[in-house]
Amino acid sequence: MKIHLVDGTYELFRAYFALPSISAPDGREVGAVRGLIQTLIGLLRQPDVTHVAVAFDSEILSFRNELFEGYKTGEGTPPELLEQFPLAERATAALGLVVWPMVEFEADDALGAAAVRWQDAPGVEQIVLCSPDKDLAQVVRGERVVALDRRKDVVMDEAGVREKFGVSPASIPDYLGLVGDSADGIPGIPRWGAKGTARVLANYGHIEQIPQDAADWQLTCGAPSPSPPACPTTWKPPSSTASLPPCAWTSQ
């Protein structure tokens, strides 16, 4: 069997901003819920979809906001959208799907934890993460755990992660911490671009394993002398990731 794990918050947000407003007889806004349910019904119509869980994070704030004050908040989220979360969760459960309403954690925390929990379970052929969130790339494993962007109809396996980001799934938290992630309010480190970061992490794997002095790096960055190196040479990696913004969920 396949297990499909859906980011309900992403689907609800997308439906709210993409579809027309619809009001229930009592005046409540329900357009986003309708769009969410239509999306889930479309998923359930596929013959290989038999086991589905949907995660929501209506609280928006999580433990990461306590670790890093710049982390994303719910500021600017329309009240009409936030008010639809309880109905969205009830409607999803009415479809017979498993619902995970997260508090102090995010929806993709639930999806990532579930993928790791069941990736080796007997009878599980594949786990499909139905979300375009790049944070989840860190739990992709071979062709057994894959990420599906249903809007683009693109499936990303482990080879796809390497092709897209230039690093292995295990290095995705380090990658996002260095280059930044505007969707989550992660600023990244100055002068660490995507290509240079990918080259460094492809060689060292994790931030902690990068030599403190760039002169000790066992790789060549940028063009040959006398041109300056394209990779950063002034930043010193911390002795631990504790001082970095909490960029992503990790299974480590």
The CATH number of the structural domain formed by 2-165 is 3.40.50.1010
Counts of helices then strands in the chain (DSSP H, E): 9, 6
Q: Is the pLDDT of residue 113 over 70?
A: yes
Strand 98-101 with 126-130, pairing: unpaired
Span 40-55, mean pLDDT? 97
Q: Is the pLDDT of residue 233 over 60?
A: no
- More confidently predicted of 234 and 31: 31
Span 73-100, mean pLDDT? 92
Span 127-155, mean pLDDT? 95
Please report the pLDDT score of residue 187 as a whole number: 81
Q: Give the pTM.
A: 0.82
Domain with CATH 3.40.50.1010 in the chain: 2-165
Output the furthest CA–CA distance in the chain (Å, rounded): 72
Span 38-45, mean pLDDT? 97
Domain 169-243 maps to which CATH number in 1.20.1260, 1.10.540, 3.80.10, 1.10.150? 1.10.150
